Structure 1
Amino acid sequence: MSGRKSGAPLLWLAVCFGSALEAVALGSRAVWRNGSAVLVPDYMLNLYRTQSQLERTSNYGSATRARRRANTVTSFVDQSKDEPSAESHQQYIFDLSGLSRTEELVEAELRVLRKLPSDLEKLQSCAGNLYHLLLYSCSSRGSSGKPILLTSRTINILDTTLSTWDVFNIGTTLKAHYRVHRTTQDSRYVCFSIAVVSHLTNEVVSPSLVGLGSTGQQKNERALLVAFSRTRRKENLFREIREKMKAMHMFDWSSEDHGRPRRRQKRRTALAGRSGAAGTAGGGGAIGGGGTGGGGKGGGRRRTRCSRKPLHVNFKELGWDDWIIAPLDYDAYHCEGACDFPLRSHLEPTNHAIIQTLMNSMDPESTPPSCCVPSKLSPISILYIDAGNNVVYKQYEDMVVESCGCR
């Protein structure tokens, strides 16, 4: 039996201990959507890969209480214009319309790429090597009309020889923003700006001097706002998929050949054939007692006891690979077999199932047998692109059958 744990993923561990080698192996990936390329941030790819490994090994360890409650991570790319930063600050704008109002915002962070200074020696000689990065909100202002200082961090330009991502915790700010603008359209956009102050001279320097300028940035180098949230209700994957497909016009429901839906029907036929073959391949022998099956000598089809059978789901064959990034396939399994009397204890039958099975064994015409159904299910994580072209990591419950029972 798999070692998966149900419940929200422990995202903090995945973020903090994600392997750099995995990020290099995955790299940035562009997914085509409606004729345009959507770049998948390395951060989200690495988050998915690391979290998937933790799920397989159940090596969750300890985590902060906040992110333990999150089961959805949505990334928003900076929408500000690609132009030289002002002398005093660097601005970042994010469209948060893809953040559902029905979800509880648990935490949020702003991730900003800082490249190596173009002239490190000159910068150090003029203003030293220590600098304070001051993060302001330009979406709202204080009573004096000035931007509100949210948080700050100190950097040493000599600490790294590579580009690095500076991370600011903005969870409290984003929650307050939504409380104030809950009923207005103002909540769609949030704006932040970073000012840089020399620790040596206490003077403001241009952000571009310490590597924060946006000029010449590649798409995968743009600032990222990452929101950690938790849905208040259990997610229904089918409902969510249907809504997204309608919004993105991914299917032409009125076409004569029905396009991809017909391909899904072929896939179901193939799966049915596969599961039928698996059901006759032994794996437990015939069940004694009454019922309509039985493993007699008459050459009839043998009925196996209720057990877990293979079921492989391929999202690419379903035609969903243009919005589902990963996984492209997974083993879902299914339950199949007879629930004949006497029921085995490992099937964990309910009292009702025991009575129903007993009644069926005495009079099959009056009472149907109990059903072989999943008794334990586990979640999987899916990395996908939402209708707003934001990359989302979400954990969906009840996606993999771990064990079967009679109900």
Structure 2
Amino acid sequence: MLGTVPLLALVLVLALVLALAKPACPSVASAASQRAEALKRLLEVFGMEDPPAPPAHFKQPPQYMVDLFNTVANADGVTKNPDILEGNTVRSFLDKTHGEKMRFLFVLSSVAKSEKILTAELHLFRLWPRATNGPKRHHLCQVSVYQVLEKSELDTPGGKKLLAARLVSLQGSGWEVFAITQAVRDWTEDESSNQGLLVTVQGLGGGPLGPPPLQFASSSDPHESKKPMLVLFTDDGRRGASLPVAGFPDLGPQAPVLPPEMSVPKLTGPRSTRSLDRLQPCQRHPLSVDFEEIGWSGWIISPRGYNAFHCKGSCPFPLGENMRPTNHATVQSIINALKLSEGVSSPCCVPDKLYSINLLYFDDDENVVLKQYDDMVAGSCGCH
């Protein structure tokens, strides 16, 4: 019997240890699930169900898309010129014909059915003309872009449809842009109708030129920045309350706004510090969003992160105009101060101006997308 007492005590100790250890596992699981849920909600803010897979190999984004991002946004992605973009999304697609000259194919499977196609542009890089020994009789040629309707009948009237045509100089090099919006709308409505584009170069009278004095870079061009590209300006219908701002938004620290009648008492000690925090007037504070820390740096090209800012502080009575209160907040402040109704709190310190940000990123098909998101940065704070 004496031997069973220590054994019983050991069993009780082990049971107690196991009981105390059990909450640690749910805690870890809870933290992991909470992070997963938080990232899922953040993806919803960015209009995605899952984060795109990073490109398998290093890819240089088209220079056009990089330049467009830098024109629209600052280094943190905050919109500095809201009137440039048509819609809120710009998608770029590279040619998939593997270098076939004057024939181009762009796969648009990543464009959602709900996305409204506003403008579609074919970007072709005009190469330097080849040197010829004969006299230069022409300085211009006619370039035509056709939508292919039937590959096997390109020479018949029903085999192709003219989308754009214009005169192009035979001197120099550079980008030529052609509007092909209707063809892309057809392709997004019926994916099987996408049989590509055909580009022809003719003389001023529409006659053939041989050999062709004008050539465009193909998808096999060693220079990534010269490859043929389709650019779509679209709108996905996601709009917030952000208002366009004239010029570049001032995102410096917001000065505290104290009504002249209020003075902050001098307090000391830990509890006093907490009390002082509550007495700090409503103002804007930094809130850093780091995409690398979140684990999104593999597919986001720019920015690497941004400052979302947040509003914190008190809205003490009386509310001065410098606290930008709404009429409702002023009335609520009076009711709260005079205790005219039970359960009425003082107004809250919240953003009263919001700015949009822009992301430049690779989608699941390794196409580069520029997307603008409303209401992502607190521009200033007020009592509401």
Letter in 2 for 1:102: S
Deviations 1:293-348 (A, max 9, x none): 97364651222111112223322232222121111122222111001211122222
Asked whether 1:329 is paired with 2:309, we answer no
Asked whether 1:186 is paired with 2:192, we answer yes
TM-score (norm 2): 0.69
- Give 2:376's aligned residue: 399
Letter in 2 for 1:328: R
- Give 1:214's aligned residue: 218
Task: Output the CA distance in 2 between the equivalents of 1:365 and 1:297.
Answer: 30
Q: Which moved more, 1:325-334 or 1:71-80?
A: 325-334
Q: Give the direction of change, closer, same or farther, for the CA distance of 1:149–1:295 in structure 2 (3 Å limit).
A: same
How do residues 69-108 of structure 1 correspond to structure 2 at under 5 angstroms?
A: 69-83=86-100, 85=101, 90-108=102-120
- Give 1:261's aligned residue: none
Q: Give the direction of change, closer, same or farther, for the CA distance of 1:365–1:294 in structure 2 (3 Å limit).
A: farther
Letter in 2 for 1:210: L
Task: Output the CA distance in 2 between the equivalents of 1:59 and 1:389.
Answer: 27
8 Å Cα contact 1:128/1:200 also seen in 2: no
Q: Give the direction of change, closer, same or farther, for the CA distance of 1:310–1:68 in structure 2 (3 Å limit).
A: closer
- Give 2:246's aligned residue: none
How do residues 4-403 of structure 1 correspond to structure 2 at under 5 angstroms?
A: 33-52=54-73, 69-83=86-100, 85=101, 90-117=102-129, 119-122=130-133, 125=135, 128-139=138-149, 144-158=157-171, 160=172, 163-175=173-185, 177-178=186-187, 182=189, 184-186=190-192, 189=194, 191-199=196-204, 202-205=207-210, 209-212=213-216, 214=218, 216-218=220-222, 219-234=224-239, 283=256, 295=265, 297=267, 299=269, 300-301=272-273, 302=276, 303-363=279-339, 366-403=343-380
Task: Output the CA distance in 2 between the equivalents of 1:202 and 1:215.
Answer: 27
Q: Which ranges in structure 2 are unaligned for 5 or more consecutive residues?
A: 1-51, 242-252
SS at match of 1:172: helix
8 Å Cα contact 1:112/1:223 also seen in 2: yes
Greater strand share, structure number: 1
The alpha-carbon deviation at position 154 of structure 1 amounts to 1.6
Letter in 1 for 2:169: N
Q: Which ranges in structure 1 are unaligned for 5 or more consecutive residues?
A: 1-30, 237-277
TM-score (norm 1): 0.66
Deviations 1:260-284 (A, max 9, x none): xxxxxxxxxxxxxxxxxx99xx945
8 Å Cα contact 1:127/1:201 also seen in 2: no
Letter in 1 for 2:207: N
Q: Give the direction of change, closer, same or farther, for the CA distance of 1:201–1:330 in structure 2 (3 Å limit).
A: closer
Letter in 2 for 1:323: W
Q: Give the direction of change, closer, same or farther, for the CA distance of 1:405–1:343 in structure 2 (3 Å limit).
A: same
How many pairs align?
310
Task: Output the CA distance in 2 between the equivalents of 1:213 and 1:196.
Answer: 14
SS at match of 2:67: helix
The alpha-carbon deviation at position 233 of structure 1 amounts to 2.9
- Give 1:252's aligned residue: none
Structure 1 or 2, whichever has the larger Rg, is: 2
Percentage identity across paired residues of the two chains: 31
The alpha-carbon deviation at position 288 of structure 1 amounts to 7.1
Task: Output the CA distance in 2 between the equivalents of 1:91 and 1:130.
Answer: 22
SS at match of 1:195: strand
SS at match of 2:111: coil
8 Å Cα contact 1:197/1:205 also seen in 2: no
8 Å Cα contact 2:336/2:344 also seen in 1: yes
CA RMSD in angstroms comes to: 3.7
SS at match of 2:68: helix
- Give 1:257's aligned residue: none
8 Å Cα contact 2:125/2:227 also seen in 1: yes
Letter in 1 for 2:199: I
SS at match of 1:174: helix
Deviations 1:228-262 (A, max 9, x none): 112323279xxxxxxxxxxxxxxxxxxxxxxxxxx
Q: Give the direction of change, closer, same or farther, for the CA distance of 1:148–1:204 in structure 2 (3 Å limit).
A: farther
The alpha-carbon deviation at position 384 of structure 1 amounts to 1.4
- Which structure carries more relative contact order (alpha carbon 8 Å, separation 6+)? 2
SS at match of 2:330: helix
Task: Output the CA distance in 2 between the equivalents of 1:204 and 1:348.
Answer: 69
Letter in 2 for 1:73: V
8 Å Cα contact 1:287/1:341 also seen in 2: no
Task: Output the CA distance in 1 between the equivalents of 2:219 and 2:372.
Answer: 36
8 Å Cα contact 2:118/2:235 also seen in 1: yes
Task: Output the CA distance in 1 between the equivalents of 2:60 and 2:195.
Answer: 21
